[in-house]
Amino acid sequence: MNKTIPVKNNRDFLRIYKKGRFYVGRFIVLYVMENNMNINRLGITASKKYGKSVKRNRVKRLIRENYRFYEPFVKEGCDYVFVARNSGCFPEYSDIKKEMKFLFKKLGVFDQEKWNCLQN
């Protein structure tokens, strides 16, 4: 994670939940809020309703790794909070990857030009 630092304080999470924009997917919910800095901040949560600690930590690692993949293509100067949703089945790496790109595009923080340049 080059320009991303973690969101750790509960008050920061609550501020992002309250004032940020969000979009809901099948496996994750993404909250985005401008932070007026040159860095991105990342927060990942999974409630106890999601399952035992092994399952919660596994989904958080999957989300973190997928964010690391898309980090060069997302807009700088934002706070991102991912919330894991319990959808009945456990998501695979590719499921989260596909959904994360969809959510970034829906919220308008994905840089499609950079993506296209690297794909060609």
**pLDDT of amino acid 116:** 77
Residue ranges and CATH numbers for the domains of the chain are 4-119 (3.30.230.10)
* Long-range own/partner contacts, residues 19-27 (CB < 8 A, 24 or more apart): 20/79, 20/81, 21/107, 22/107, 23/103, 23/106, 23/107, 24/85, 25/85, 25/99, 25/102, 25/103, 26/85, 26/87, 26/95, 26/99, 27/84, 27/85, 27/87, 27/91, 27/95, 27/96, 27/99
Residue 1: pLDDT band by 50, 70, 90 thresholds? Answer: very low
Structure confidence by residue, pLDDT tens digits, 17-68: 999 999 999 999 999 999 988 899 999 999 999 989 999 999 999 999 999 9
**pLDDT of amino acid 27:** 94
Residue 120: pLDDT band by 50, 70, 90 thresholds? Answer: low
**pLDDT of amino acid 2:** 65
